[in-house]
A and B are shown apart, each in its own frame.
Chain A
Amino acid sequence: MDFANLGLFNQAIILFAALALLTSFLMLAQARMLPLIFTFAWQGFLLATVTVLVAIVTGHSDLYVSALLTFALKVIVIPWLLYRLSVRLEMQYNAEEIAHPSLLLIAGVVLVIFSYFVAKSIINLSGLATRNIIAVSIAIELLGMLLMCVRKSAVAQVIGFMSMESGIFFAASVSAYGMPLIVELGVAFDILVASILFGVFFFHLRDSFGSLDVGQYNHLSEANETDTPDDRATVPATGGHA
């Protein structure tokens, strides 16, 4: 890959995309709630920046809309919602324990290499910058999934989910110069509704389980049901908090 021959804008695109990938790693290792939310917002900011840069380079004015959507949702609305929720749930200073942090980061590196390997198969299709960006967006998506798998806190899982979504949205806007407007708006609407619903669920989860630690939610596993056949029947059907 001959980066030096690229134009200045293309180099900047790759630089910012790499920084966005770095924020994924930061999130993976960040145990504290508030910095995690802020890192997520930074990632959104970097992705929006790359989208604007691509819009300038390629002259696709649709991409400004994508960048605006990313900025509005991923930098302002969702981080703000999560921040407000974590304050209301009094968990903004919580830090959860991450098991095997170094192993986790190595797994992240493996995923990035895998993403580049996958992106290699589309080598014939497009230029150097696009190819790198596709690899980065696959990596951001997979790292978001990894974050969801290893974290036990529901808030961290939501951040992983949203990070995945950002990665995909980024791939769409940069590699294919933006999806049709109606699709982008639809996707943004769905994400917005999902983030509000997640917020509602935080309260339900806390009311039902007393914490947002997903590891405690095990009423419904197959094994549990065979071990204690009677406790399901005895759970009263409460009609309490609506």
Chain B
Amino acid sequence: MTLLEATLLAPLAGGLILAIIGHRPVAGWINIAVGAVTFGASLAMALDVFDHGPQLSPSRMFYIDAFNVYLVVLTAFVGLTTSIFSRPYMRHEVEKGRVTDRRLRLYHSMYQCFLFSMLLALSTNNLGVLWVAMEMATLTTVLLVSLYRTPEAIEAAWKYFILCGVGIAQALFGTVLIYFAAESKLGADRDDTLLWTVLHSSAGGALDPAVITLAFVFLLVGYGTKVGLVPLHNWLPDAHSEGPTPMSAVLSGLLLNVALYALVRVKMLVDASLQTHLAGYLMMGFGLLSFTVAGLFLHRQHDVKRMFSYSSIEHMGLITFGFGLGGPLATYGALLHMTVHSLTKSAIFVTVGHACQLAGTQRIDQIRGLIRTQPAIGWGLLLGVVSIAGFPPFGVFISEFLLLVATMKSWPWLTIPLLIGFGVAFAGLFRHMQKMVFGEPPPGQRPVQANMIPVIIHLVLVLFLGLMIPNFLSRWFEQATLLISGASLL
């Protein structure tokens, strides 16, 4: 389990080191180096798990199985590529005077602490620690959202703090209820009744259905707030649009996934002890509502980062819906969609960050002619939007297609709102994107120094996943599908 410890300790140590180093130019490089170490360790750990199956640490504090191992790797990977993007981006922000030296120190330190809290949330075996890590992720990102100290940023951070704080408090109550149910069945003198492995192995009909139902409602509201499910999504567009762009990329690409991961873990417990589809129905309802409402909201956005954060809500809604459907096909599609969405969305936010620096504003009607001023950014945005809208041959198409087929199999009439939703979201994205990329560039618009390597890597990966899924990845997805839905795809 030393590889897992390395994966967790690297960002934690990085956060401390970066807090000491401060704003020196080398901090950006150290940020990248720490990201690389984390990613390397997580990859080695993943190979280990691939060879030897699920691993429980000796203290039983950490548990790595097929479901969370690929999310750990994904989190470390996007954390690395975003840190590569963030170095020139933040330097540009410092030059423009939007960020002072002290706040740059805060930014770097909190960036690594944020990654640490997400990795902890993913790898822990203890539902209580999972909650603590989620709250920690909120606290670290609140500081990042308010980094610019404009009234809007402060307001967004306050809203984020209060809404997610209240939301996640509900999740704590749900966790307490699960603990309560487990203790009444397993005995109060054990100290392992909050461990997911213990709960899952004894959940089959053992936990009191009434308490578990109540617990799931609280947990759905709590973690659902962090996933950004409508109507609990209000904080999300604000936090994404007012914070620095690298943070928007990791928020959209990673944090939402981690929150959804927590929800699905709990759903596995609830399904096993209720023997009904209640949790699935609730998730389907919230998911479909988020998907539809966010698609409509795409049309009336004026801020480009706000628009893409609504797109994130839409996709998280779709994934929640997929997990809610249950069944191997839908679960497989949802797992794949989690991956391709976070790769694509973080690539889009990286591109949008450069586009905003190029145009000097985040307003959609003032960003024009990207492809003429700086073709790399223009193409990046174009391909990113094409990918996120679900065009073949990108991976998003495959996962959306799988989800659609799964819906058609079990709930045929629900394919109609899904298809309409895809169309509405597509139109919403393209009506804005088309002008930003191809419009007439305003006079005097100059290219900025842009690092498009993360975007290229992400989009190539998404394209690759659309053409074929490598053997090891599909085996993980299959194992995870078996774990979550209880049935194998093949």
> Is B142 on the interface with A (CB-CB < 8 A)?
yes
Residue numbers in A under 8 Å from B365 (CB-CB): 229
Q: Provide the bound-state CA to CA distance between A190 and B121, in Å.
A: 14
| Interface-centre pick from B102, B238, B302, B361 (highest chain A CB count, 10 A) | B302
> Is A1 on the interface with B (CB-CB < 8 A)?
no
Q: Provide the bound-state CA to CA distance between A229 and B156, in Å.
A: 18
Interface size range on A against B:
35 or more
Q: Provide the bound-state CA to CA distance between A36 and B98, in Å.
A: 38
| Interface-centre pick from A179, A181, A194, A209 (highest chain B CB count, 10 A) | A179
Tell me if B214 and A164 are in contact (CB < 8 A): no
* Stretch touching chain B among A16-24, A40-48, A105-113, A216-224: A216-224
Interface residues of A in 134-175 (CB under 8 A from B): 134, 138, 141, 145, 148, 154, 157, 161, 164-165, 168, 171-172, 175
* Stretch touching chain B among A49-57, A84-92, A94-102, A119-127: A119-127
Given contacts A208-B151, A232-B363, A238-B150, contact A201 B166 (CB under 8 A): no
Tell me if B146 and A171 are in contact (CB < 8 A): no
> Is A15 on the interface with B (CB-CB < 8 A)?
no
Interchain CB contact (< 8 A) of A180 among B103, B194, B303: B194
Interchain CB contact (< 8 A) of B361 among A208, A217, A233, A240: A233
> Is B65 on the interface with A (CB-CB < 8 A)?
no
Nearest chain A CB to B111's CB is how many angstroms away?
A: 17
> Is A186 on the interface with B (CB-CB < 8 A)?
yes
> Is A103 on the interface with B (CB-CB < 8 A)?
no
Nearest chain A CB to B45's CB is how many angstroms away?
A: 22
Tell me if B166 and A148 are in contact (CB < 8 A): yes
A-contact 0/1 string along B299-313, CB 8 Å cutoff: 010110000000000
| Interface-centre pick from A172, A181, A214, A229 (highest chain B CB count, 10 A) | A172
Residue numbers in B under 8 Å from A138 (CB-CB): 173
Interface residues of B in 231-283 (CB under 8 A from A): 238, 242
Residue numbers in B under 8 Å from A232 (CB-CB): 152, 302-303, 363
Tell me if B99 and A239 are in contact (CB < 8 A): yes
> Is B468 on the interface with A (CB-CB < 8 A)?
no
Interchain CB contact (< 8 A) of A122 among B151, B154, B214, B302: B214
* Stretch touching chain A among B125-133, B373-381, B395-403: B125-133
Interface residues of B in 121-151 (CB under 8 A from A): 126, 128-129, 131-132, 135-136, 139, 142-143, 146, 148-151
* Stretch touching chain A among B177-185, B404-412, B414-422, B448-456: B177-185
Apart from A118-B214, A168-B172, A229-B302, what 19 extra A-B contacts exist at CB < 8 Å?
A121-B213, A125-B181, A168-B176, A172-B179, A176-B183, A177-B183, A183-B128, A183-B194, A187-B128, A197-B139, A197-B161, A208-B155, A220-B238, A220-B242, A237-B98, A237-B148, A239-B100, A240-B149, A242-B100
Which residues in A have some Cβ–Cβ distance to B below 8 Å? Answer: 60, 118, 121-122, 124-126, 134, 138, 141, 145, 148, 154, 157, 161, 164-165, 168, 171-172, 175-177, 179-183, 186-187, 189-190, 193-194, 197-198, 201, 204-205, 208-209, 214, 217, 219-220, 222, 225-226, 229, 232-233, 235, 237-242
